[in-house]
Amino acid sequence: MSAPHRRTLSRAGRRRLAGIAMTSPALAMITLFFFVPLVMMLWMSLHDWPLLGEHHFTGLKNYREALHDTEFRTAVIFTVKYTLITTPVLFVLGLAMALLVRHKRRGARFFQAVYFLPVVVGLASAAFLWLFMFQSDIGPAGDLADHLGLGSRTTNWFAGSTSAMLVVIGMVTWKIVGLQMLLLLTGLRSIPTDAEEAARIDGASRLQTFRYVILPLLRPTLALVLVFSVAGSLLAFDQFYVMTGGGPSNSTITAVYEIYRASFIKFQLGYGSALSALLMIVLAAVSAIQMLLLRSSDH
Amino acid sequence: MRTRTTAASALLMSVALLATACGGSGSNTSGSGSGTITLWARDSQKGFINILADAWNKDHDTKVKATVVPVANFVQKFGTAAAGGSGPDVASIDLVYLPYFASTGVLDDITDLANKLPYKDGLSAAHRKLATYNGRTYALPFTAEASVLFYNKDLFRKAGLDPDKPPANYAEIISAAKKIRALGKDIHGYAIAGQCGGCEIFEFTPHIWASGGDVLSADGKKALFDTPEVTDALTFYRKLYTDGSMPTQSKTDTGTNQPAAFQSGKLGMTPLGAFFVQVLKKDKKVDFGVAPLPGRNGGSASFAGGDEIAVTKNAKNKAQAHEFVRWATGEQAQTILAENSIVPVRTDLIDKIYTPLDPRYKVLAAAMEKGRTPYSTVENALFNDNNGPWVNMINRAVFDGDIAKAQQEGQKAAQSIIDDAS
């Protein structure tokens, strides 16, 4: 009796140990690269902490200043505007492309690969590529606009705040939409074909099938894609840093850009940390709201 | 298993220790064992810094090892390394940042060394002023730069202008630019780098100085962005833009288009520095002249740029590092600089080692000798920041046109940066 009993115990113990063993590398990584910096950032945000020299505790002073910082407010408003434009564009195009390549028709694989290709280019490289393409006098985009009668070779696309933002959004769409397509495609493929067939047999039109069958079943994927997309846009930095440098006249400075400026231009690491903490809170709240909205309602 | 967790906690501990070291005065971890001096320089200096290091290494037992850091983030890299205790023994620093670094205590006080130099009064005055903080000296002048007006002699001839008589006030520049612009659709009269703080402080401030104004009070405590001399200079740039003499790229140029446009031969005039002489001479494409940057009604001024060379507080090899910075201001080192088209900082030697090399160097040497530099511990946030108040004021005034409002808001933003720091 006792021998098998002991064996089950040790098996359970072994399983537990194996569990710890398998999760500990991930835990260690998360602790090292997320929790430790996070705690440090929160600690620094409570100090007047210059890049060089003495730091001292100031409590919530940085946060109070941040709430009255007009430059940061302008940056946040711009970031929200950018997110509100980018998210639907990416989503609609991504979904349309996913629907196009969903069925295993001839050529579907090919287009799937073509749409996905820009995703494997680094964001900074893609930004430099587009910066060159839209450079007045030398960029091919100016040539194209000239031939189509939309503009001239000498048009400086980055001189207007709207046109500068549109060029950046164009680049981001080209670069990211393939990833959204891929995510939505896996969602679409996981919908059982029986459900669609049943709807067809009941006489539902293509649009009705999409609206009442596909879209509701796609909900978990939609949540994932939207959270990704919104978080990515709210954290935008590289594309603006490379392509517009925040210009013209500081009209395209994002929240993260402002954090960068506070920390590494003005050398106020403590204040930069406070701005980061605020941004993190907003981001967590926005993501949570999205998850809630897309999870329950009609279930 | 136990060993794994122990290892993990040991790792965490070491990270925590590292983290604390970042904030305090950590030990120096740079690889400067006995017999080497580590030297950091900007990538714009890579053409000569190793030649200089080789010259030193030839007759010294202690070897200098130069590391080139990208210019765009030199301040951040040096700042973080110095704060973490992993900085170099010696650093060549853009002189505008000297007051900041001196004020934070990362540089070694070398007042005695500086005072003992027999040629101390022959060193560039602007450099000496910037290296002084609270009456103590923290660096020695190393390389000089001066902003001047470059003009294309071929385009001057074609436009019916005298290539040997460059414009000497705002009105003459405006009219010359207009005549050159009229030469062709893709030819422009005058270009600036409208979204580059480092360029604008270097190229635009001399106009204000030459007209009798300034951008900061002498003690650096007051911004003077809303003064009439600044208004005049902004109006001058604005006129160049509304005349169509300035290309549209100027508004968003972060400093890459402006020299390239002049090199292509399609630009009449542009304000740049001594380094550009070398670039153009290598090109052999443009027949160019060099003239001082004028004020509203004549006169001239120049921004004294360049680098200072400093020993860091945590330097391992301090005695040798001191010897090296002293040597860097000596005749041998300064001659090497001049031979590599760098303006030397020794005004007592300049006619011997620099000006004979090219007739245009005379203008640069004169510009350097009377060059000025704004003194502020927040220079980076005020002027060099591409999104800072200085760039923003110029950009909005010149390209959007509301000069008074741009000045007023620029003044407010600049003053608040100064007040926050003190």
**Inter-chain touch B385–A158, beta carbons under 8 Å:** no
**Secondary structure letter of residue B248 according to DSSP:** G
How much is the pTM? 0.84
Residues B103 and B116 in one domain: yes
For residue B5, is pLDDT > 50? no
> Which is higher by pLDDT, A15 or B18?
A15
Give B 46-105 residues with CB within 8 A of chain A: 73, 76, 79-80, 82-83, 100-101, 103-105
Specify the residue for token string 């509301």: B402
What whole-number distance in Å separates Cα of residue B384 and Cα of residue A77? 25
* Cβ-nearest to A156 among B82, B251, B381: B251
Q: What is the pLDDT of residue B148?
A: 95
Q: pLDDT digits over B39-82, tens only?
A: 999 888 888 899 999 999 998 989 999 999 987 778 888 888 88
Q: What is the per-residue pLDDT across B237-285, written as a single tens digit (0 to 9) for each?
A: 999 999 999 998 899 998 888 999 999 999 999 999 988 988 898 888 9
Domain that holds residue B63: 29-145+305-369
Q: Judge if A9 and A94 occupy the same domain.
A: no
Residue A266 confidence (pLDDT): 86
Residue B223 DSSP symbol: B
ipTM here: 0.81
Q: What is the pLDDT of residue A8?
A: 59
Q: Is the pLDDT of residue B27 over 80?
A: no
DSSP letters, B386-418, are: TTSHHHHHHHHHHHT--HHHHHHHHHHHHHHHH
Give the Cα separation of B201 and B379 in Å (integer).
10
Angstrom distance (rounded) from CA A111 to CA A102: 11
Q: What is the pLDDT of residue B19?
A: 40
- Could you tell me how many residues make up chain A? 299
User: How distant is the Cα of A95 from the closest Cα of chain B, in angstroms?
Assistant: 36
pLDDT of residue B421: 81
Structure tokens at B76: 């951040």
**Same domain, yes or no, for B298 and B315?**
no
pLDDT (average), residues B112-129: 92
pLDDT of residue B256: 86
pLDDT recorded at residue B14: 41
Token couple for A123: 């964001």
Q: Do residues B163 and B269 both lie within one domain?
A: yes
pLDDT in the model for residue B28: 39
- Say which amino acid occupies A214: I
What pLDDT score does B245 carry?
95
pLDDT of res. A5: 55
Interface test with A, best of B252, B384, B386 (most A CBs within 10 A): B252
* B42 bridge partner residues: B69
Q: Does residue B32 have a pLDDT over 80?
A: no
Verify whether the Cβ–Cβ distance B248 to A20 is below 8 Å.
no
Cα separations in angstroms, B178 against A37, B209, B236:
57, 25, 13
What's residue A154's pLDDT? 80
Q: Are residues A16 and A106 in the same domain?
A: no
Give residue A50's pLDDT. 87
Asked whether the CA dihedral B386, B389, B392, B397 is positive or negative, the reply is negative
Q: Give the per-residue pLDDT at B175.
A: 96
- Helix ranges (DSSP H) in chain A: 2-30, 36-45, 61-67, 70-100, 108-116, 123-133, 140-148, 161-189, 193-201, 206-209, 215-217, 219-234, 238-243, 255-264, 269-295
Residue A121 lies in a domain: yes
Domain shared by A106 and A195, yes or no? yes
CA distance B82 to chain A (A): 8
Respond yes or no on whether the N-terminal peptide bond of residue A248 is cis (omega within 30° of 0). yes
Choice between A149 and B289, residue whose per-residue pLDDT is larger: B289
Structurally, how many domains does chain A consist of? Answer: 2
Mean pLDDT computed over every residue of chain B: 88
Whether residue B248 and residue A154 make contact (CB cut-off 8 A), yes or no, is yes
Closest CA to A83 of A283, A294, A295, A292: A283
Give dist(CA A255, CA A294) in Å, integer: 26
Give the strand pairing for B36-42 and B63-69.
parallel
- Does B8 have pLDDT greater than 60? no
Beta-bridge partner residues of B136: B133
Tell me how long chain B is: 422
Average pLDDT (B133-138) is 94
Give chain A's residues under pLDDT 50. 1-2, 299
Instruction: Examine the domain organization and report whether B290 and B156 are in the same domain.
Output: yes
Non-local CB neighbours of B50 within 8 Å, separated by 6+ positions:
B66
Q: Residue B321 is part of a domain; what is its CATH number?
A: 3.40.190.10
- Domain residues for the domain of A236 are 70-295
User: Is B96 found in the same domain as B197?
Assistant: no
